[in-house]
Amino acid sequence: MRTLTEAKPSLPSSWYFDPGHYDRELAAIWHRDWICVGRSESLQRSGDYFVANIGTQSVVITLLPDNSLRAFHNTCRHRGATLCPHDEGHFSNGRVICPYHTWTYSLDGELIATPGRFETDDFQLSDYPLYTIHVELWRGFVFVNFAKEPDTDFADFVGGQAEYLRNWPLEDMRSVHQETINVSCNWKVFWENYSECYHCARVHPELCKVMPVYRKGVFDLADLPGWTPQHESDRGFGAVGDGAKTWSMDGAITLPVIEGPTEEELNLGVIFSSFDASLYVVAHPDYVRSVRLRPTGPESIELVVDWLLPTSHEIENKEQLASIVELTRLVLQQDGEVCELNQRGLHSEQHAAGVLTPQEYELWGFHQRIRSKLARN
């Protein structure tokens, strides 16, 4: 049993709304950790790019002729103008051109021309490349790290979480539907809600029909006090209930089963993989969904949800799309509502901090990571 054996204090309430503390978290976490910013499928040919904004920082990710990725600050070396004012686009002729004074860079960030500049002997183009940012590709997901020297090697960062999904063909999948959701809560409030099921029975009755274990307020039957398996249907973590096959409103599958996962993995109906705290990926027998999170202020976040299918699978009608979208959409709506309730209540002058229950052990681990990251600055 992984539950807490004693009551633990939550983080201070002010950490969820104080602008000064929010800035500290941006500097210590969001501008220093590996952050997922999108999918590589949006970059189809050399020179394609997209822009991601994380806290106060803006990053441009582009595809090079050798199919590698390059990331750099969305800032010209001349006087700091924004290079790319649009969310996505294409660098024609492999040139990144500042829209202000036309300083021109190669796709790998080297300054190659400064049209109209009066020449001086001391100016060297090689001294003014774009500010590069660490970028890594994992199974189609693009991650960046703003730190000059990342605290964690990327392979260690994805680590064991990557193993959960190794049998799903993520790099050969594409998004067939995307939704962007704005929630008025601190980023930690949402991640905490995602990390516990204590709320599930009350907040997610439809989900609990597919996932009966959630009615007990836990993700895993083994977390129940004194639990021992009685029969084979006590499948524990992540298992859909009898009669269900996947996450849909009725638990039924309407799309082809994905090739690659083992029979045991398919029978579970759902497998989670979490990348603290900008991405989680949920694999089902017939589709995969990803949720990317980014803070947009001390009390606001943006969620980008993608429903992924193998490139060989097609959505044939609206009913098939609805079958994979409706339940997640409903669950996220319900989560958003309670997260906003949570956020508003944290402003009470009397509520300095909360208390964690035994089944909220993942929150304690999350809080400890937050404290550790803030302490390293």
What is the pLDDT, as a whole number, of residue 1? 46
What is the pLDDT, as a whole number, of residue 221? 78
As a whole number of angstroms, the distance between CA 291 and CA 187 comes to 13
Q: Which of 79, 191, 57 shows the shortest CA–CA distance to 134?
A: 57
Q: In this structure, are strands 104-106 and 48-54 parallel, antiparallel, or unpaired?
A: unpaired
Three-state SS string over 232-294 comes to: CCCCCCCCCCCCCCCCCCCCCCCCCCCCCCCHHHHHHCCEEEEECCCEEEEECCCCEEEEEEE
Q: In this structure, are strands 104-106 and 132-138 parallel, antiparallel, or unpaired?
A: unpaired
Q: Please answer whether residues 100 and 75 qualify as being in contact, where contact means their C-beta atoms are separated by less than 8 angstroms.
A: no
What is the pLDDT, as a whole number, of residue 314? 92
Q: Please answer whether residues 283 and 267 qualify as being in contact, where contact means their C-beta atoms are separated by less than 8 angstroms.
A: no
Q: Which of 94, 365, 320, 304 shows the shortest CA–CA distance to 178?
A: 304
Token look-up 């503390």 returns 21
As a whole number of angstroms, the distance between CA 97 and CA 88 comes to 14
As a whole number of angstroms, the distance between CA 280 and CA 163 comes to 14
Tens digit of pLDDT for each residue in 318-364?
A: 999 999 999 999 999 999 999 999 999 999 999 999 999 999 999 99
Three-state SS string over 140-165 comes to: CEEEEECCCCCCCCHHHHHHHHHHHC
Q: Please answer whether residues 329 and 352 qualify as being in contact, where contact means their C-beta atoms are separated by less than 8 angstroms.
A: no
What is the pLDDT, as a whole number, of residue 229? 67
As a whole number of angstroms, the distance between CA 283 and CA 260 comes to 12
Question: What pTM was computed for the model?
Answer: 0.95
What is the pLDDT, as a whole number, of residue 228? 72
Identify the helix (H) or strand (E) that includes residue 78. Answer: none
As a whole number of angstroms, the distance between CA 134 and CA 207 comes to 38
Q: Which of 337, 332, 343, 336 shows the shortest CA–CA distance to 206?
A: 332
Taking every pair of Cα atoms in the chain, the longest distance, rounded to a whole number of angstroms, is 82
> Quick check: helix, strand or coil at residue 9?
strand
Q: What angle do CA 176, 179, 180 make, to 5 degrees?
A: 145
Q: Please answer whether residues 247 and 269 qualify as being in contact, where contact means their C-beta atoms are separated by less than 8 angstroms.
A: yes
Tens digit of pLDDT for each residue in 157-209?
A: 999 999 999 999 999 999 999 999 999 999 999 999 999 999 999 999 999 99
Q: What is the pLDDT along the chain (377 residues), one digit of tens a residue?
A: 477 888 899 999 999 999 999 999 999 999 999 999 999 999 999 999 999 999 999 999 999 999 999 999 999 999 999 999 999 999 999 999 999 999 999 999 999 999 999 999 999 999 999 999 999 999 999 999 999 999 999 999 999 999 999 999 999 999 999 999 999 999 999 999 999 999 999 999 999 999 999 999 998 877 888 777 664 455 555 589 989 999 999 999 999 999 999 999 999 999 999 998 899 999 999 999 999 999 999 999 999 999 999 999 999 999 999 999 999 999 999 999 999 999 999 999 999 999 999 999 999 999 999 999 999 86
As a whole number of angstroms, the distance between CA 38 and CA 137 comes to 10
Token look-up 């978290």 returns 25
Report phi then psi at 238, rounded to 5: 75, 5
For residue 120 the two structure tokens come to 């001086």
Secondary-structure class of domain 1-17+165-377 per CATH: alpha beta
Q: Please answer whether residues 277 and 285 qualify as being in contact, where contact means their C-beta atoms are separated by less than 8 angstroms.
A: no
Instruction: Give me the residue spans of the domains in the chain.
Output: 1-17+165-377, 34-160
Q: Which of the four CATH numbers 2.102.10.10, 2.60.40.10, 2.40.110.10, 3.90.1300.10 does domain 34-160 have? A: 2.102.10.10
Identify the helix (H) or strand (E) that includes residue 192. Answer: helix 187-194
Where residue 109 falls (left for φ over 0; alpha for ψ -120 to 50; beta otherwise) is left
As a whole number of angstroms, the distance between CA 335 and CA 183 comes to 9
